[in-house]
């Protein structure tokens, strides 16, 4: 590996580490699912969906790997590999996680990126 390739690999590693700071944790995602379940329950929506959301939240809370990391590697399909995460919940989480990186485009993010690439 040439010095330029090593430097590029190091930059990619550093950017990935910084980027992951803005991705929601399992705890954040579990809270989001609980809130969604509460909204549906308050509107007397499908009880099975409410239960599925609550169960998925409990699973995420105790899941040993960060689901956001799984998502960055395999997208929605990787989310569906988590026990208790079906197609609809995976789609919801996919949308949340896809929006998370755009929130990272703050001055701090831009400064870090410029430091890593200069």
| Domain segments of the chain as ranges | 25-106
Residue that wins the pLDDT comparison between 76 and 12: 76
pLDDT digits (tens, 9 = 90+) for 57-98: 999 999 999 999 899 888 999 999 999 999 999 999 998 888
Token pair, residue 58, equals 């409990």
pTM over 0.75: no
Q: Are 101 and 23 in contact (CB under 8 A)?
A: yes
**Spatial distance between the Cα atoms of 25 and 67, rounded to a whole number of angstroms:** 7
Which CATH fold would you assign to the domain 25-106?
DNA polymerase; domain 1 (1.10.150)
**Spatial distance between the Cα atoms of 29 and 56, rounded to a whole number of angstroms:** 10
Q: Are 64 and 54 in contact (CB under 8 A)?
A: no
**How many other C-beta atoms lie within 10 A of the C-beta of residue 19?**
16
């Amino acid at each position: 590996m040439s010095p330029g390739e090593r430097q590029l690999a190091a930059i990619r590693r550093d950017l990935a580490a910084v980027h992951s700071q803005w991705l929601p944790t399992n705890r954040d995602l579990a809270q989001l699912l609980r809130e969604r379940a509460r909204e549906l329950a308050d509107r007397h929506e499908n009880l099975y969906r409410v239960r599925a959301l609550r169960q998925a939240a409990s699973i995420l809370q105790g899941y040993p790997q960060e689901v956001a990391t799984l998502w960055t590697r395999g997208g929605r399909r990787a989310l569906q590999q988590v026990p208790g995460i079906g197609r609809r919940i995976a789609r919801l989480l996919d949308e949340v996680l896809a929006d998370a990186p755009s929130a990272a485009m703050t001055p701090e993010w831009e400064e870090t990126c410029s430091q890593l690439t200069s």
